[in-house]
Amino acid sequence: MKDFVVYTALRIGLFLLTWAAVTGAWLLVAGEAALGLTFLIAFVLSGIGSYFVLSGPRDRLARHVEQRAGRISEKMEERAAKEDVPD
């Protein structure tokens, strides 16, 4: 759960930082910003940026999810094996 919260917080932070930068640049150039358009541009840029910048936290989250899925699969197999044993 911790890895999920950390990764999600970093993604949101990266998006907000990107949105602020895009909006600020737009304001400097045009004098007023189209918030919807800056939102979409920031969404795309932060998505691309997160692929590179957040690879470490994403890999940790993926390992955690994989380990948890493995433990659940093992428990399910153990239960199925117990059900298959004749009394």
How many whole angstroms separate alpha carbon 13 and alpha carbon 49? 12
Three-state DSSP class for 85? coil
- Report field, pTM of the whole predicted structure over 0.85: no
Q: How many CB atoms lie within 10 A of CB 35?
A: 11
Q: Are 8 and 50 in contact (CB under 8 A)?
A: no
3-state per-residue secondary structure call for 28-81? HHHCCCCHHHHHHHHHHHHHHHHHHHCHHHHHHHHHHHHHHHHHHHHHHHHHHH
Q: Are 54 and 14 in contact (CB under 8 A)?
A: yes
What is the pLDDT of the chain when averaged over all its residues? 89
- Reported as a single tens digit per residue, the pLDDT across 43-62 is 999 999 999 998 888 889 99
pLDDT for residue 85: 67
